[in-house]
Structure 1
Amino acid sequence: MTSTDDKIEQKIKGLNPGSIIFTEDFQSLGSSGAIAVALHRMVKKGVLKTLARGIYAKPKFSKLLNQEVLPSTEQVAEAIAKRDRARILPTGVYAQNVLGLSTQVPLKLVYLTDGSPRKITVGNRTIQFKKTTPKNLALKGEISKLVVQALKEIGKDNATDEELKKIKAVLQNEDIKDLKHDISLAPQWIAEIMAQAL
């Protein structure tokens, strides 16, 4: 009979390096106690790395950096959203950073979500999921939804000419249909800024 350890090890072997794994991925392979012990052993063996409580990664080796590379905090947030079948939307300084409006890499990533609100610590960074209204998550464009969040963080009448120029430039890469859709949902002052990209 194959032990829980062996079953879990087999399953992990079949995963791509860089994969994010949750304790519940192994639910069918044994009791939660046996799974916890098996995963702890895999971490000790170096087969897995612990990212946060109940969240692991199969390390990926980078020849370029000549070291193991773990998934980014952003990838962890996306994996949690996928697991929970929830939608997430980056906010604030993080949205500004993704758009190139800020060079500051936030240690705290705040996402709006229609999933459960929670806080997770990954290394020295924190992921926070804040419950929001469906309207906030109804934006379609990958770029325009970030622009709305970044501008909310900057505040009305606070955006510099440089920032407005950058926003207009990044919005040129947005699908025109999505952009028009998102303009119709954005707060009036943000919609006016976004409309300049049409």
Structure 2
Amino acid sequence: MNRLTNSEKIKKILKGIYYNPKYNELIEEYEASSVHEVAKAIARKYNWTIAPSGNTALNLLGLSTQVPFKWTYISDGRYVDFSFGNTVIEFKDRNNK
């Protein structure tokens, strides 16, 4: 993993979370990782069930064009914030019913 990260074939987002950057020829830059995909990867890592909440849910459903500053998810895990780059993902603890 270290060699792949150093050669920039993959990029490290958080400890244990990596992504394969895709090059966009139109803007001649690598695309940023999807925040929702990162949240799903974190949930897989900790074996949580998650669902988008609040403005995050509105944005993902296409009901709002505003991109949330803090991406909020409810989960059956603990309350925790993850930060990478200029993005914050917040997981709120909710019990499954």
TM-score between both structures, scaled by the size of structure 1 = 0.43
Q: Which has the higher Rg, Structure 1 or Structure 2?
A: 1
TM-score between both structures, scaled by the size of structure 2 = 0.80
Whole-Å separation in 2 of the counterparts to 1:130 and 1:85:
15
Q: Give 1:131's match in structure 2, choosing from 78, 90, 93.
A: 93
Whole-Å separation in 1 of the counterparts to 2:41 and 2:24:
21
User: Which runs of 5 or more structure 2 residues have no equivalent in the other structure?
Assistant: none
- Contact between 1:114 and 1:132, CA under 8 Å: does it hold in 2? yes
Residue in 2 aligned with 1:95? Answer: 57
Higher helix share: 1
Q: What SS does structure 2 have at the residue aligned with 1:109?
A: strand
- Contact between 1:73 and 1:122, CA under 8 Å: does it hold in 2? no
Whole-Å separation in 2 of the counterparts to 1:121 and 1:103:
22
Structure number with greater CO (CA < 8 Å, separation at least 6) is 2
Higher strand share: 2
The two structures, once aligned, show a CA RMSD in angstroms of 2.1
Whole-Å separation in 2 of the counterparts to 1:53 and 1:121:
11
1:87 alignment partner AA? T
Displacement of 1:71:
2.1
Q: Show the 5 A alignment for 1:73-152.
A: 73-135=35-97
Residue in 2 aligned with 1:63? Answer: 25
Q: What SS does structure 2 have at the residue aligned with 1:81?
A: helix
